[in-house]
Every structure is written in structure tokens, then in C-alpha cells.
Structure 1
Amino acid sequence: MRTDLNLLRVLLAIYETGNVTAAARDLGISQPAASAALARLRHSLGDPLFIRSGAGMEATPRAQGIIDRTREVIEIIDRDILSSPIFDPATTEHEFVFCLSEIGEVVFLPGLFERLRQVAPKARIRTISLAPEALTEGLHDGKVDAVLGYFPDLTAPNIYQQRLFSHDLACMLRRGHPLAGTRLLLEDFGRLEHLQVRDGSRRQEMFEAYLTRAGINRNIVLQTSHYMSVPSIIEQSDLIVVLPRTVANLYSNIVNVQIIEPPVEIPRYDLKQFWHARFHQAPRSIWLRQLIADLFAH
């Protein structure tokens, strides 16, 4: 026998109120609808379930025998199945996993770590770097909570994104470089020897794509996948590097390098947070996305 869960709610409401009209009012349905539900239950269970007694209705032994289990079943369904899950950052011990580029760690991680430690002190934090083809899979599987930064390859239709802010690029030379000044000429930019940083989490840097479209060539003599060695290399050579201005500002304050403006107006690029549609309504994901937006969306 298959019974509509709503019929059991009617059974419980009549038992607790002793009255079909009162039960209907508590359930937010009409009195005829409650009476029809009781009739269906009586037919299904082969028992009158309630009989009139004075001004109310008295449960039969059959109803008495199933009411406790009925109440238990409804409470379990309402609490564990139908209720909205709750995420409590103050008590969570979840390990938040973020996919960040090396620059992303410089830009996002200090503030993100500080804020998470304040509001989710028991949580753990881990950052990883993934190849473009693994980013979508990591988000889909829940192995990555969020991807932060410039990730132009994340274009799958089930990937959500939110713009946080925009970066611009600058050139960096050693202090005392023969071409040190405020802005490079295009011919000097093409003649200089370049250090190129290629982030493995992207197939092509935005700047590389821009130069290709503009037909601008440069003489790349050294390529690296990390920014850590960049300041010491630039400081000790006549190489030039193009990098995000935020990072260039950081390096110019700690080593003997200086910032110089590029010879052309390079378009700014957006830094975003990305998440998978599977977790769009998940309370933990909603909470985390709002925290990230509050920190960086300006």
C-alpha cells in the first residue's frame, strides 16, 4: 500500500486537535480537503481511525497504534529531508580548497586567509594549481571550492562566474637601466630582451593574445612558469618583464627594480571567482562566495 505523506499529516493533525476543522486550519487547507484526506486514509487502512465523541473526535486503537510512528516519520522528513541545510562557519572544520595562480596567491590569499581565520577559526585552507582541463572537473567533483583569478579557459556552460575587480599590466626594469624612464617606446620594447612568465593554469596569457592581434613581436630570451625568481633576475640584468601592476608594485618596494609604463595601452583584464552549478544553492558555497565578494568585489 502506498500512502500520500500529506494524508499522514492530516492524520496527525486530527489526532492532535481532535477536530477536522481545526486540523484543516493548522495545515492551511480547506475543511472539505481534510475530510477527503481522512476518507482516503480510512479506505486505505480499513479502519475508521476516529469516531465522534462529544464535541471532538477520538482515535481508534488502530490510529493510536500508528500515531507515534507517524509523528516520528514526519519529524524525520521535515528535519532531515525537507528542511534547508544550514552552514555554520563558526563550527565548520571543512578544508576550503582554492585554485589560484601564483599571482592569485599574492593578490587573494593574504586577505582571504585572514578573513577565514576570523569567521571560521576551525576551518583549514589549501591552495592548488590545476591545468585548464582539470579546473572544470575539480569544481564539478567538489574537490575545489572556488577558482579565483584570471582563468579565461573556464567557459563551460555549467560554470558560474562573478567579476571581482580588474588588473592592469606594467613593465619592470632594474633601476639604472639604460632605458629607465616613465614609458617605453614601441621600438625599444621590441628591441629589448624579455623575461616571459607563462602560468600553467592558462593556455594563453591575455597579454600574449593582445600582442598577437596587434602584430607586436618581442625578443623572449628567458621563459619561466613562476614569478618567484623574477625580481632577482630583473635586478641583475637588462631584461624587461611584463607583469600585473600589483605584483610590480610589491617588487619595486623590496628590490632594486622600477616600474615603467608599456609602449601601448594594454586592456585591463578581469579577476573573477568561479564555481560549479552543482553547488550554486549549497549553503557553504553561498556563504563562501559572499565572503569573497565582500572582500574583493570593488
Structure 2
Amino acid sequence: MIPTPRADAIAPTISTLLQLADNDLAVKPEFLPQQSQRNFTIGMTDISQMTLLPLLQIALQQQAADGITFTVQNLDEQTLNALESGKCDLAIGYLTQLPESVYQQHLFDQSYVCLAAENHPRIRAQLRAEDWRQEKHLAIRVEGTAHGDMDKLLDEHHMPRRIALTLPSFLGTGELVAESDMIAVVPEQVARHITRRYPCRSWPLPFPLAKIAIRQVWHQRLHRDPGHIWLRSLIATLADPAQQSTSIKI
């Protein structure tokens, strides 16, 4: 029997529905991280790679989950397709226009601050609007993320930057700010990460900037997977800004 064009067209949808039905009917064993040898592929920004991954490794050590491993992919415009195809298990970041085939969980609202060297020659007690306009800026433009749209957000507030250097990621931001008179607008958790390691300070922005909702997103096929449920719960705990310390206990 030769399938009709209509049958070919709906075959992927039927396959997904059958898989979901099998997942719902199957008896799923309890997930024991101490016994698991599972690898999870996670899509995330370099921000999460800096701030979340170290906490994740500490949590694995605390749970004696030595067999669990992670593969990290950069969050980009292909991430949602990777979730759909199964090439990515979980995505963390500022994700919009989500398809109906995925679930999402709000993790936290990301706010922005301005970073400068502790011994900056002109910025002292506070960052004023005139400081913002006059100082040289280090711009970080990470495509496919909220930070890639920073210039648009700033233009809406009529606060353009005098950009002296542009980077494609946050790698090197701490060294460059600490050793120059450039300033940089960064997410608050990045500022915390940098100020712990470099002689830098952070200031509130001299204008209001809306917070960005950070979520974790996964495909519906993994929604009831015990191992995936364990991972999502762990990520939600670690991503809580109140827990952003290497001394956390899981």
C-alpha cells in the first residue's frame, strides 16, 4: 500500500502523539541520580555558563551523582528546533515565540546594572545620566539573546552609548572593565560574578530598564520523564537569585 500525500504530511504528528501516549502509559521507575549514567544536553547563554554551571557541578558532587554528565550548547536561533528534534533536552534563557510543543517554567527576572572599575577616575558615589553619555562603553552583543537587543532597548530610553569596544560574549568583560575606564551594562548576576573576582563595582542604571524574564523550556516528550523532572527541579533551585552562592546546600 502506497501512502497518500496527506498520510505523509501527518505522519510526523501521529508519530509524536504515539510517543507521548507511550510515555504516559509506561511505568516510569524512580530516578536515582546517584545511580544514573545519563547525559543531558542543555542550551544556555554564556551568562548561565558563567553563573549556573559551577553551581550545577557543586550540586552533583553533593548528591554523589558522578555518572551524570552535561553537554552545553550555545543558546541561539536554532535552540527551539533542537528541542523539537531531541538534540537538546533543556534550554535556559530569554526565550520568546515558543511553539505549543514545549513547556516552560519561569526562573527569575533578570535586571541590568552598570559595571565599572573600582578606581574609575570619574565615577565615584553614583552613576549619573551625564556619566553614562560621556564615558566610553564596552558593549556585549550576544546574538539570539535579550542582550543582543540592548541597543534597541537603550534607544527607547534615549540613552545611546559611546561604544569603544564590542564583544560577542561576556568572556573577558571583567578584565577589560577592571583595567580600563570603560563601563559596561551587564545582567546583575554577571556583575556579582565579576565583582567577586575583579576590582570592579556595579551601579544602578541612571534610567529605568525593564527586567527580562528568564525561563527554562523543554519539549513535551520529556515532561514526565523522571530524570528530566529531577533536572528541572535542580535548575529551578540553583537559578533562584537568592541561591546564587557557591555555599548552597542541595
TM interval, shorter chain, is: 0.7 to 0.9
Please give the alpha-carbon distance, in whole angstroms, between the structure 2 residues aligned to 1:211 and 1:284: 41
Find the counterpart in structure 1 of residue 74 from structure 2: 129
Helix, strand or coil: the match of 1:287? helix
Is contact 2:175–2:198 with CA below 8 Å preserved after alignment?
yes
Could you tell me which of 176, 201, 204 is aligned with 1:261? 204
CA distance in 2 between partners of 1:90 and 1:236 (Å): 44
Question: In the TM superposition, what is the alpha-carbon distance from 1:282 to its structure 2 partner?
Answer: 2.6
Quick check: 1:232 aligned with 2:181?
no
Q: TM-score, normalised by structure 2?
A: 0.76
Q: State the AA in 2 paired with 1:115.
A: A
Kindly tell me: are residues 179 and 164 of structure 1, through their superposed partners in 2, closer, same or farther at Cα, counting changes over 3 Å?
Answer: same
Residues 119 and 271 from structure 1, CA distance in 2 versus in 1: closer, same or farther, beyond 3 angstroms? farther
Question: Aligned-pair distance for 1:175?
Answer: 2.5
1:214 aligns with 2:145: no
Q: Contact 2:43 / 2:92 at 8 angstroms: preserved in 1? A: yes
Which residue number corresponds to residue 127 of structure 2? Answer: 184
Higher helix residue share: 1
Q: Which runs of 5+ in 1 are unaligned?
A: 1-79
CA spacing shift, 1:240–1:218, aligned 2, 3 Å: same
- Larger relative contact order (Cα-Cα within 8 Å, sequence gap ≥ 6): 2
Point out the structure with max Rg over C-alpha.
1
Q: Which residue of 2 aligns with 1:284?
A: 227
Match of residue 92 from structure 2: 148
Using structure 1 for the length normalisation, give the TM-score.
0.65
Is residue 61 of structure 2 the alignment partner of residue 110 of structure 1?
Answer: no
Tell me, which stretches of 5 or more residues in structure 2 are unaligned? 1-22, 243-250
Is 1:93 paired with 2:42?
Answer: no
Contact 1:183 1:262 in 2 (8 A): no
SS at 1:270 equivalent:
strand
Q: Matched residue of 2:52: which SS? A: helix
Alpha-carbon offset, residue 290 of structure 1: 2.2
C-alpha distance after superposition, 1:41-71 (max 9, x if no partner): xxxxxxxxxxxxxxxxxxxxxxxxxxxxxxx
Q: What is the percent sequence identity of the aligned residues? A: 26
In structure 2, the partner of 1:174 is: 117
For 2:147 and 2:118, the matched residues in 1 are separated by 30
Larger deviation, residues 94-103 vs 117-126: 117-126
